[in-house]
Amino acid sequence: SDETIIQAAASPGAVVQRVIFVNSGQQLLLRHLTIRHGFADGSSSISRRGGGIYLDGGQLELEDVILTANRARSDGGAIYNSSGTVTVLNSDIRSNQGCQIDGSCGNGGAINNFSGALTLRNTLLRGNEAGRGGAIYTSGAGNTLSLTNVAVTGNLAANLGGAIANVAGQLQLTNVVFSANRAIGEGGGLHSQSSGATPVIRNSVFWNNQDNSGIGTAGASIFNSALTSTTVSHSLIQGCGGSGGGWNADCGADLGGNVLPQNPGFTEAISPGSTPNPNGYFRQGTASPLINRGNNAYIAGVGTDLDGWARIIDGVVDLGPYEFGNDGLFRDRFEP
């Protein structure tokens, strides 16, 4: 079938124009299309944010959507959410930038969530770039962020939070993989700060992320400020140890079921030194330590994995967004 594309221009950066603006009180549902080449390069607080989509207090739902090659001068290369509600399902958000042409970068290469509610399920966040929060930057009073069955890979932050910078708010990660993300500063995978940041990490994987402390260190996986209240359960976090002894409290509170870090055996791993990089495939292989190590209660009501196959095989859910034992032939449902 023909592909539907909504674009600001035929090539990235050719014109200064946002693709979509959603006003306060409006509701917008988009399905089965691509949004690309938006460029928010104005000087006002609105015109410099949200290269692909700017949401001003409304409601936005994206399903089976590709957001790619969008840029914002400051915040939210693909999406800027100001006090709205955003739901993203079965989508691919790749190769967006929260940066100016001269290379100076703002916050949230893919998404900037300010005092809003952001939910992503069965979605890829890959190869995005910003100053803080290579993929997502979330801040502001009352903001919430929930990711389920999501792969956050190959993102780059020139400052902190290679994948996600969580300045404040409630963050829930369930069956998420963070791999090959890089921050030039702190927190290659997740950077959380302030007493308002309360990450909950469950059935998830942090592997081969990089920050100024190195590759695969505790801080390269998860960087928590002294005021952050992070909890971790049934997860594999490189540099953090496992439950039952040897857990590194800098990674957060151990609530049990955490697996001693071992190579997950991804199908196509990439190096964090190659970021921003939208490539790679992070499904686990045979004999992976991710297999059958999760908690089914955390994934209740979720029937499929990131590739659209059965979410639970052999009775116990795997860690991360993929379930071993599925064919995996139609990987990620998206072309590179």
- Give how far the C-alpha of residue 301 lies from the chain's centroid of Cα atoms, to the nearest Å: 21
Minimum mean pLDDT range among 205-209, 282-286, 327-331: 327-331
E-strand ranges in 107-163 read 111-114, 117-126, 129-132, 136-139, 144-153, 156-160
Percent of the chain with pLDDT over 90: 85
pLDDT of 306:
97
Residues 104-136: tens digit of each pLDDT: 889 999 999 999 999 999 999 999 999 999 999
pLDDT of 144:
95
Residues 213-262: tens digit of each pLDDT: 999 999 999 999 888 899 999 999 999 999 988 999 999 999 999 999 99
Q: What angle do CA 64, 309, 113 make, to 5 degrees?
A: 40
162 beta partners: none
pLDDT of 336:
47
Residues 68-87: tens digit of each pLDDT: 999 999 999 999 999 999 99
- Give how far the C-alpha of residue 126 lies from the chain's centroid of Cα atoms, to the nearest Å: 8
Give the count of domains, the chain. 1
pLDDT (average), residues 137-148? 95
Question: What's the rounded Cα separation, in Å, for the pair 4 and 109?
Answer: 24
**pLDDT exceeds cutoff 90 at 66:** yes
Name the strand (E) or helix (H) holding 219. Answer: helix 218-221
Name the strand (E) or helix (H) holding 266. Answer: strand 266-268
pLDDT of 222:
97
Domain assignment of residue 170, given as a range: 5-333
CA distances from 197 to 64, 76, 155, 193 (A): 30, 20, 21, 6
Question: What's the rounded Cα separation, in Å, for the pair 113 and 95?
Answer: 18
Which pair of tokens denotes residue 129? 């770039």
Residues 151-195: tens digit of each pLDDT: 999 999 999 999 999 998 899 999 999 999 999 999 999 999 877
**pLDDT exceeds cutoff 60 at 331:** no
pLDDT of 334:
56
